[in-house]
């Protein structure tokens, strides 16, 4: 494999997972709509701001923050917000606190955040009260104070702030649950130990169930006890702690052991971690075959929730299915198909799974027809084949089998082996929903929301709104999970380019990747380098920027899109390596130990 092919592969591996869920359904950042929403409004704000109008200065601050009718600019954002804040405008004081709290365009600074929130709070500004509550709730730059957090949430909720209302409910429930579980955790109850340790460590991040209490000094003991008692979530997170050396001393062997215990209970995260350990040779000898086996197990995890319960659970049931299947019983043949598919009381076997499923499907059993379609759709135990998937789903759908209607809807929704058909997908989802199929309900809601949002914001994309252009292009080009197949997607690469040129860093990052790979655009290493460099300047600490820094180093080292420059390559590798990028660290080690090691040591290490 030549250097260009290696670089393309690296870019796919490193930059493909830039995937927040539901990206096609874009939600604007908070305060986005307080920026000027038309060019006339922007010009009016400009004129009034220069005359000292505080509200106009705040509006101009947000225009520079979000790039509304002007290039994004940190200095101008801060300049105009501080002018408004110094005049006592609570909105501007709150927004400065918000920027420092979250590290938006500025370095995160809890002291500055606290300062501005307190000033805005003195004016009874509800947003600032909510954020101050968050700081005391989660100990962000202050000593945690449960009572003060509740008091501040109450002040904000009294002004009908829905964020504060939700936070108030959450904090009360969180501490109530912790105190209720505390005696049980100390007595060794594994569920109580898991929930309380998860709260102390903030593991239940989706629900923000972080608790800060002195009793949390016992949390690692609770987590260990729950893991030893077989709780798969405790095993999975304790294993990750051992892997990272977080809260415990780093120990790859213990990490592997605990991941394996969790994986035996079907934990797909643990299965993926085991694959990584085998791939990297951490705590075990490197074994690519074992790594791939565990990755495959993790990728198949969804099957178990939908169909493995239809396989024979008891050995006696398996034997009975065997006997009946040989006599031609279609349902028994399907059951036997699943036994071979999932390895229930028999070794997994693709040929036997297909044999028995086809026997049952030929007798027009819709469950079997659907499962054959599912196997061909996903490429499970067979080569992926959309034509075969379509054939079997259509047969099962003709018998009103709800699973098949749902999967057919997916095929028309995403254009898998068929011409995309938005209306047909909705119709099929509706048929499945009428039979109360939960997956179809979610899909129907999602497709309606996705296309409604796309069409609603299409004029903004065409007018040059970079945020809308980014989200529309990412949906059309299938960067994110919520894909769109729409005739206007022919404009997607132009939207992405426009957003990148306006300074949107994720657009720059993905456009650089496309130029690197020659995907959607003609391959151009110079443009790839240009957009990578523009992106990393804006978000140097983001993990995705670290990948880009590594690739910039590779471009300089290989002389792709630029003259070969080992010094520049090392500089970029060092930037990424300092923030923990493993490939960059290995590249530096390779150069240091290579033929140029004396030059490297003298130039970069000073000896």
pLDDT at 6: 52
Average pLDDT over residues 442-470: 84
Query: Token match 């923000």: residue?
Result: 208
Average pLDDT over residues 105-134: 94
Report the distance separating Cα 200 and Cα 175, nearest Å: 11
**Residues 171 and 152 sit within 8 Å (Cβ to Cβ):** no
Query: Token match 């006997």: residue?
Result: 323
Residue-wise pLDDT for 340-389, tens only, equals 888 888 888 889 989 999 999 999 999 999 999 998 998 888 889 999 99
Residue-wise pLDDT for 376-399, tens only, equals 998 888 889 999 999 999 999 999
Which H, E and C letters describe 260-293, residue by residue?
HHHHHCCCHHHHHHHHHHHHHCCCCCCCHHHHHH
pLDDT at 477: 84
For the entire predicted model, the pTM comes to 0.48
pLDDT at 436: 83
Query: Interhelix angle for 54-66 vs 74-86, to 10°?
Result: 160
Q: 177: which 2 tokens? A: 């649950």
pLDDT classification of 23: cutoffs 50, 70, 90: very low
pLDDT at 541: 60
Which range of 30-34, 301-305, 330-334 scores highest in mean pLDDT? It is: 330-334
pLDDT at 296: 63
Residue 120 vs residue 478, higher pLDDT = 120
Whether the per-residue pLDDT at 491 is higher than 70: the answer is yes
Residue-wise pLDDT for 140-161, tens only, equals 899 888 889 999 999 999 998 8
The helix/strand/coil state of 66 is helix
Average pLDDT over residues 504-516: 90
pLDDT at 592: 75
Stretch among 22-26, 81-85, 185-189, 560-564 having the lowest mean pLDDT? 22-26
**Residues 271 and 298 sit within 8 Å (Cβ to Cβ):** yes
pLDDT at 316: 83
Nearest to 470 by CA among 494, 442, 443, 441: 494
Which range of 448-452, 516-520, 589-593 scores highest in mean pLDDT? It is: 516-520
pLDDT at 475: 84
Q: Where do the domains of the chain lie, and which CATH numbers do they carry?
A: 39-162 (1.25.40.10), 187-301 (1.25.40.10), 310-450 (1.25.40.10), 491-594 (1.25.40.10)
Average pLDDT over residues 458-469: 88
Report the distance separating Cα 194 and Cα 186, nearest Å: 11
Average pLDDT over residues 446-474: 85
**Residues 53 and 86 sit within 8 Å (Cβ to Cβ):** no
Average pLDDT over residues 224-232: 88
Q: How many CB atoms are located within 10 Å of the residue 399 CB?
A: 13
pLDDT at 586: 87
pLDDT at 299: 58
pLDDT at 344: 82
Residue-wise pLDDT for 66-77, tens only, equals 888 888 888 999
With 0-12 / 13-18 / 19 or more C-beta atoms within 10 angstroms meaning exposed / middle / buried, residue 214 is exposed
How far, CA to CA in Å, does 157 sit from each of 168, 319, 500? 8, 62, 39
pLDDT classification of 594: cutoffs 50, 70, 90: low
Report the distance separating Cα 575 and Cα 197, nearest Å: 36
pLDDT classification of 540: cutoffs 50, 70, 90: low
How far, CA to CA in Å, does 48 sit from each of 44, 52, 73, 318? 6, 7, 20, 79
Q: 534: which 2 tokens? A: 């523009």
User: CA angle 104-107-111, nearest 5°?
Assistant: 100
Residues 6+ apart with CB under 8 A from 64: 70, 72, 73, 74, 76, 77, 80
Residues 6+ apart with CB under 8 A from 270: 232, 235, 236, 239, 258, 259, 260, 262, 263
Q: How many CB atoms are located within 10 Å of the residue 58 CB?
A: 28
Which pairs count as long-range contacts for 85-92, CB under 8 Å and 24+ apart, including other chains? 85/116, 85/119, 87/52, 87/54, 87/57, 88/54, 88/123, 89/54, 89/55, 89/57, 89/58, 90/120, 90/123, 90/125, 90/128, 91/34, 91/55, 91/58, 91/120, 91/125, 92/54, 92/57, 92/58, 92/61
pLDDT at 580: 76
Average pLDDT over residues 421-426: 89
């Amino acid at each position: 494999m030549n250097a260009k092919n290696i670089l393309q592969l690296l870019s796919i591996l490193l930059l493909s997972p830039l995937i927040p869920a539901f990206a096609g359904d874009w939600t604007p950042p908070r305060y986005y709509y307080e920026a000027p929403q038309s060019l006339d409004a922007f010009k009016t704000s400009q004129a009034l701001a220069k005359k000292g109008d505080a509200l106009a200065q705040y509006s101009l601050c947000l225009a520079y923050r979000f790039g509304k009718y002007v290039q994004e600019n940190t200095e101008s954002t801060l300049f105009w917000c501080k002018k408004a804040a110094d005049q006592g405008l609570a909105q501007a004081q709150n927004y400065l606190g918000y920027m420092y709290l979250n590290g938006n365009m500025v370095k995160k600074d809890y002291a500055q955040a606290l300062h501005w929130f307190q000033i805005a709070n003195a004016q009874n500004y509800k947003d600032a009260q909510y954020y101050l509550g968050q700081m005391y709730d989660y100990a962000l730059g202050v000593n945690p104070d449960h009572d003060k957090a509740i008091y501040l949430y109450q002040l904000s909720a009294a002004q009908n702030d829905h964020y504060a209302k939700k936070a108030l409910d959450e904090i009360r429930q969180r501490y109530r649950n912790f105190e209720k579980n505390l005696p049980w955790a100390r007595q060794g109850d594994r569920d109580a130990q898991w929930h309380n340790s998860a709260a102390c460590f903030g593991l239940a991040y989706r629900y923000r169930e972080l608790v800060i209490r002195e009793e949390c000094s016992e949390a690692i003991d609770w987590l260990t006890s729950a893991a030893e008692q077989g709780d798969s979530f405790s095993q999975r997170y304790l294993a990750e702690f051992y892997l990272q050396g977080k809260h415990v001393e780093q120990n790859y062997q213990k990490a592997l052991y605990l991941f394996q215990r969790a994986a035996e209970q079907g934990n797909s995260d643990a299965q993926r971690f085991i694959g990584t350990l085998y791939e990297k040779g951490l705590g075990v000898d490197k074994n690519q075959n074992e790594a791939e086996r565990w990755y495959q197990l993790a990728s198949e995890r969804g099957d178990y929730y939908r169909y493995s319960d239809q396989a024979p659970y008891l050995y006696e049931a398996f034997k009975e299915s065997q006997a009946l299947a040989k006599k031609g019983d279609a349902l028994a043949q399907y059951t036997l198909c699943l036994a071979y598919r999932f390895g229930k009381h028999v070794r997994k076997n693709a040929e036997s799974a297909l044999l028995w499923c086809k026997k049952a499907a030929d007798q027009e059993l819709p469950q079997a027809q659907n499962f054959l379609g599912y196997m061909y759709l996903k490429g499970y135990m067979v080569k992926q084949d959309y034509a075969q998937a379509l054939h079997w789903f259509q047969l099962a759908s003709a018998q009103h089998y709800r699973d098949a209607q749902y999967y057919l809807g997916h095929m028309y929704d995403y254009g898998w082996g068929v011409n995309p058909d938005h209306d047909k997908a909705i119709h099929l989802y509706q048929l499945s929903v009428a039979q109360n199929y939960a997956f179809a309900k979610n899909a129907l809601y999602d497709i309606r929301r996705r296309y409604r949002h796309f069409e609603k914001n299409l004029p903004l994309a065409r007018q040059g709104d970079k945020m809308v252009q980014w989200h529309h292009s990412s949906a059309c080009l299938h960067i994110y999970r919520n894909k769109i197949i729409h005739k206007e997607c022919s404009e997607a690469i132009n939207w992405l380019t426009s957003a990148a040129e306006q300074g949107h860093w994720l657009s720059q990052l993905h456009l650089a990747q496309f130029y690197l790979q020659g995907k959607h655009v003609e391959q151009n290493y110079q443009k790839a380098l240009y957009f990578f460099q523009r992106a990393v300047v804006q978000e140097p600490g983001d993990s995705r920027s670290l990948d880009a820094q590594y690739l910039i180093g590779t471009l300089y080292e290989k002389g792709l899109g630029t003259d070969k420059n080992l010094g520049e390559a090392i500089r970029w590798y060092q930037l990424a390596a300092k923030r923990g990028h493993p490939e960059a660290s290995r590249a530096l080690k390779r150069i240091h130990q290579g033929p140029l090691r004396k030059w490297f040591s003298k130039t970069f290490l000073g000896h």
